[in-house]
Chain A
Amino acid sequence: MRQVLEFEKPVIALREKIAELKKFTTDSDLDLSEEIVKLETRLEKLENDIYTNLKPWDRVQMARHADRPTTLDYIEHLFTDFLEFHGDRYYGDDAAIVAGIAKYKGQPVTVVGHQRGKSTKENIRRNFGMPHPEGFRKAARHMQQAAKFGRPIICFIDTKGAFPGRAAEERGQSEAIARNLMEMAGFEVPIICIVIGEGGSGGALALGVGDRLLMLENSTFSVISPEGAASILWKDGGKAKEAAEKLKITAQDLKELGVIDNIIPEVRGGAHRDLASQAELVDRAITDNLAQLEKMDKQVLLEKRWEKYSNIGAYTE
């Protein structure tokens, strides 16, 4: 069954009502088309009201929606000749991250992204998109290769965070993330990072250092999950909704704080409503940004990347 979000319920109810009336009109002699038009206008207005006034917590729900498009969904729509490659060459292959090479409008690129599952079975295989060190090291390996062969790198961010497990700690979760942050700062090719769902903490940032950090309109990017923050700050995980507001985790807030470069709009009702149209919106963002970045020579690219990160922060002097 399709997942219904709390704030969408009035929309769903009205839609069902319209569908019911339409069916009634076709099945019986009674003509209700005038009534239907009236309700459709109301639906239009209601949808507009709801989707242009989403609260941070609503967006958290949207970002976590079970049907929300994943990295592999976007790869299928945006690239051709995608070849997925596996393994970090040290320990194993982490299915929570996918990586490979492809063509973007004819141009060779390297694509890396967190990958969660849509079904329980796939989610278990992919560890709910929460990587171990070998996932980050696989990503690093492919990005190093991209730098070697001069291919731009496109990263899709979609994770609750790096996996907090015993094996992950034993194999150097911290070092794996840290190394990605450092190396991504120095690759001499354009890097575009796009938050498509949840961007949770260091595990998200480990694919998030580049020339552009873009966020889908209803995605989130945060230092800690709202639940985690609520439980630490107020010893009450139930205050997650409040924490979501205070932490400033929406694309709109983060653009204002100077953390991200731009927002990619979503189709009405969220990316999961229409993958093909959503992919077009992402496509446009990649094309525009790639064109800007490819004009720069390597030195300028790196200098601007450093400037961008060295300017993030709030302090007075």
Chain B
Amino acid sequence: MLKDFFSKKKHASKPSEEAKQDIPEGLMLKCSSCGKIYYREEMRKQLYVCQKCGHHHQLPSDERINSLFDEGSFLEYDTNLETGNPLEFPSYSQKLEKDQLKTELKEAVVTGEGTINGFRTAFAVMDSRFRMASMGSVVGEKIARALEKAREENIPFIIFTASGGARMQEGALSLMQMAKTSAAVQRFRDAGGLMISVMTNPTYGGVSASFASLGDYNFAEPGALIGFAGRRVVEETIREKLPEDFQTAEFLLEHGQLDAVINRHDMKKYLTTILDIHQAGGNVS
């Protein structure tokens, strides 16, 4: 019946328990925005951008690095830094271990260098699968060191940010990473270095309020949520409903907070053009 077709069924799109069991874990992915179902492999080839609606899903750091840097050019920095539990915060160490197992990462940021269409560049890629890429001592230290390395080597620095904010379990030590990384950006800038920041979903709190906002160019991926305070906190504070697009990359662009919003598929070409123009300007070695 046509009427049935239009009536809302509460769990229409939810697969039954039985159906779930038929699909091997992680083989299929569903676009969280439009609901289109993909094979994981197909989605991976598309850099986790939905072909139907263009939604940019979380991109694991290793796949982001592979998508941007020339094959075989990637050299990772500072692979030995280990996070401690300086405040002896309950269950912090266990949480770290769990995410290390889940992601096969040691911490929430990968730093290193490589070439993008031949242009040598230092970089940092944050990975929100690990503790929501919150900024603890190791994240701050690795980013500061990568900036120092870029300064010494006189090469550009590109950072892909993602973060829920501070690493609460490290208390003020986490807060001070904002100062450390910003001071490192200051030294890098002072030496004439080119810094490009690309904010991905989500970039909040202490990361948004430090290096993420300090690029010579600040970009974002489409639909990325970016802000200092989270939407819920803002709504509770001002007691008013916020617009649907509040804190999206497009909202920030409209409010003058970004240089451009760049589609993931265009990223390599776009960055190449910037690196090329800057090399012609003489700042990049």
Contacts and interface: CB of A to CB of B under 8 A. Distances in A.
A and B assemble together: yes
Interface of A: 162-166, 168-175, 177-179, 181-183, 185-186, 201-202, 205-206, 208-209, 221-224, 229, 232-233, 246-249, 254, 257, 259, 305-306, 309-310, 312-317
Nearest to A164: B229
Contacts of B190: 186
A170 B87 CA distance: 35
Contact of A229 (B86, B168, B182): B168
A166 to B, nearest CB: 6
Interface in B1-55: none
A178, A208, A305 — which one has the most chain B CB atoms within 10 A of its CB?
A178
B140 interface: yes
B90 interface: yes
Given A168-B228, A259-B173, 11 more contacts: A164-B228, A166-B234, A177-B228, A178-B211, A181-B183, A222-B175, A247-B172, A248-B171, A312-B173, A313-B177, A314-B86
Identify whether the interface residues of B are mostly helix, strand, loop, or mixed.
Answer: helix
Nearest to B135: A223
B94 interface: no
B70 interface: no
A202 B178 contact: yes
Contact of A209 (B80, B89, B179, B226): B179
Contact of B137 (A209, A229, A314): A314
Interface stretch (B122-130, B238-246, B262-270): B238-246
Interface stretch (B61-69, B113-121, B201-209, B277-285): B201-209
A221 B140 contact: no
A209 B185 CA distance: 14
A269 B141 CA distance: 39
A178 B182 contact: yes
Contact of B184 (A170, A232, A310): A310
A174 B225 CA distance: 13
Contacts of B227: 169, 173-174
Contacts of B247: 169
A223 B187 contact: no
Contacts of A221: 172, 175
A173 B186 contact: no
Contacts of B185: 182
A309 B237 contact: no
B255 A170 contact: yes
B230 to A, nearest CB: 8
A85 B209 CA distance: 26
A254 B185 CA distance: 25
Given A182-B182, A183-B186, A208-B179, A174 B212 contact: yes
Contact of A169 (B81, B183, B234): B234
Given A179-B213, A183-B186, A305-B183, A259 B176 contact: yes
A18 B179 CA distance: 50
A112 to B, nearest CB: 16
Given A186-B186, A186-B190, A306-B187, A165 B172 contact: no
B273 interface: no
> Which 6 residue pairs spanning A and B have beta carbons closest together?
A164-B229, A313-B137, A314-B86, A181-B182, A185-B183, A178-B213
B168 A202 contact: no
